[in-house]
């Protein structure tokens, strides 16, 4: 009996719900877009809505479309098939873009990443082979070189032209990885423009594994790409790691090999023993004022603050410490930067992607500032 009543009521419910949408003559009422614009006007996308580009930057597939010049480009390398532990960093570029809370001035920097007059553009992701690593690495090198050869719309600040072999300004690229192997094709590409480059390498791991006895494509992994880069003489012998704390299967011989590749080591615990200012000073002194490439593995940060990564190591730096070091490196001659190894499938509440997106803001600031910002006195003084 009860079900019969419900069945009888259905046509009445349908008739009632249709009623507000129909006029007397059955036409649909004329609610046009004018009403929205009359009442609310044109509105920008919200921080968490709209097409996926970093911080709502204009988005262009730059490889195919050279019509939009840029001083600084965001570029995704969605590649993770040379990982040793957890794969998934191919989704990193997407998750870092999606984790945009608004980019803007902060008390720490005193400015925002877009307050310098540079043309910033999100150049999208490079469509890389998911199956053939040698092909993907070649694709990355060609793509990076293509963008590096584009004319810049203005004069990049600070100028990098004095370091380039052709004496011209070249755009600078913020690459979103990807596993750490993406640095090899980037260094190959940069070397053609700038010659040998010093590397500031933030990582829990050396990434200078010996490859003796390993043949073919297997030599190149996210643990060995710096060894390959040194074989090819892409780097100076005054590069530096920051944040190292890996367990060494090969014992301390690992460090000897690392030194031969060209690195000096700042360990995670050096932060406790010598302090942040000393860490900054050591990095600056080591790389000097030649061309510098900065590569930041998100696993530098403690897994409690950045769990979504390929090879997590407990006991890392805080996000705030890393951000402060980056501020302190402003004014070096950066020819490119990246952030890698964000594997969002292992994330919780976007904690890793949010840290990475925030660091990308810092990287964009760091590249443009002539010197570290002065410590900011807050609105209430100190």
Per CB under 5 A, residues contacting Mn ion are: 180, 203, 207, 297
**Angle (CA) 243 370 276, round 5°:** 25
**What 3-state class would DSSP assign to 182?**
helix
Nearer to Mn ion, 113 or 310 (CB): 310
Closest distance of CB 192 from Mn ion, Å: 24
Nearer to Mn ion, 57 or 234 (CB): 234
Nearer to Mn ion, 203 or 313 (CB): 203
C-alpha to C-alpha distance for 77 and 96, rounded to whole angstroms: 12
Closest distance of CB 57 from Mn ion, Å: 26
Nearer to Mn ion, 169 or 207 (CB): 207
C-alpha to C-alpha distance for 252 and 254, rounded to whole angstroms: 5
Its sign, for the CA torsion 316, 320, 323, 329, is negative
Closest distance of CB 225 from Mn ion, Å: 9
Angle, helices 319-328 vs 351-368, to 10°: value is 10
Closest distance of CB 203 from Mn ion, Å: 4
C-alpha to C-alpha distance for 80 and 341, rounded to whole angstroms: 8
Nearer to Mn ion, 80 or 297 (CB): 297
Closest distance of CB 209 from Mn ion, Å: 11
Q: Look at strands 291-297 and 172-177 and give their pairing.
A: unpaired
Do the beta carbons of residue 214 and residue 239 sit within 8 Å?
no
Nearer to Mn ion, 180 or 284 (CB): 180
**Angle (CA) 233 238 242, round 5°:** 115
Closest distance of CB 98 from Mn ion, Å: 23
C-alpha to C-alpha distance for 380 and 367, rounded to whole angstroms: 29
* Residue 173, strand partner residues: 73
Closest distance of CB 349 from Mn ion, Å: 24
Do the beta carbons of residue 165 and residue 193 sit within 8 Å?
yes
Closest distance of CB 180 from Mn ion, Å: 4
Candidates 98, 175, 120, 27; CA nearest to 368 is 120
Nearer to Mn ion, 314 or 349 (CB): 314
C-alpha to C-alpha distance for 106 and 289, rounded to whole angstroms: 27
Nearer to Mn ion, 68 or 264 (CB): 264
Q: Look at strands 239-244 and 120-125 and give their pairing.
A: unpaired
Closest distance of CB 87 from Mn ion, Å: 14
Residue 33 structure tokens: 């877009």
Q: Look at strands 198-202 and 120-125 and give their pairing.
A: unpaired
Nearer to Mn ion, 125 or 297 (CB): 297
C-alpha to C-alpha distance for 16 and 345, rounded to whole angstroms: 46
Radius of gyration of the chain (CA): 25
- The H or E element that residue 96 is part of is helix 92-98
Closest distance of CB 76 from Mn ion, Å: 17
Nearer to Mn ion, 182 or 279 (CB): 182
């Amino acid at each position: 009996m009860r079900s019969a009543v419900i069945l009888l009521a259905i046509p009445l419910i349908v008739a009632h719900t249709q009623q507000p949408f129909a006029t007397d003559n059955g036409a649909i009422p004329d609610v046009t877009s004018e009403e929205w614009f009359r009442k609310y006007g044109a509105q920008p996308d919200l921080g968490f809505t709209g097409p996926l580009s970093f911080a709502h930057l204009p988005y262009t597939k730059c490889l195919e479309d050279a019509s939009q010049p840029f001083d600084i480009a965001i570029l995704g390398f969605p590649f993770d098939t040379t990982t040793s532990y957890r794969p998934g960093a191919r989704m990193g570029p997407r998750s870092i873009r999606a984790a945009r809370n608004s980019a803007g001035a902060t008390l720490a920097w005193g400015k925002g990443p877009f307050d310098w007059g540079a043309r910033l553009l999100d150049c999208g992701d490079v469509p890389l082979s998911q199956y053939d690593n040698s092909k993907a690495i070649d694709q990355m090198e060609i793509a990076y070189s293509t963008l590096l050869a584009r004319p810049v719309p203005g004069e990049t600040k600070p100028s990098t032209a004095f370091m380039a072999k052709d004496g011209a300004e070249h755009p600078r690229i913020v690459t979103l990885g990807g596993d750490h192997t993406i640095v090899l094709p980037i260094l190959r590409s940069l070397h053609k423009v700038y010659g040998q480059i010093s590397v500031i390498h933030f990582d829990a791991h050396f990434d200078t594994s010996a490859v003796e006895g390993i043949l073919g494509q297997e030599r190149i992994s996210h643990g060995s790409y710096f060894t390959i880069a040194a074989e090819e003489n892409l780097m100076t012998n005054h590069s530096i790691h920051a944040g190292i704390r890996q367990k060494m299967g090969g014992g301390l011989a690992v460090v000897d090999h690392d030194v031969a590749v060209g690195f000096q080591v700042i360990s995670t615990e050096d932060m406790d023993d010598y302090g942040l200012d000393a860490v900054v000073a050591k990095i600056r002194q080591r790389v000097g004022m030649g061309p510098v490439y900065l590569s930041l593995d998100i696993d530098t940060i403690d897994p409690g603050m950045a769990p979504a990564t390929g090879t997590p190591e407990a006991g890392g730096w805080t996000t705030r410490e890393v951000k402060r070091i980056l501020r302190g490196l402003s004014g070096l001659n950066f020819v490119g930067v990246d952030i890698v190894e964000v594997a969002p499938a292992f994330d919780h509440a976007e904690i890793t992607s949010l840290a990475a997106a925030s660091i990308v803001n810092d990287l964009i600031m760091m590249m443009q500032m002539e010197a570290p910002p002065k410590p900011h006195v807050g609105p209430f003084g100190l």
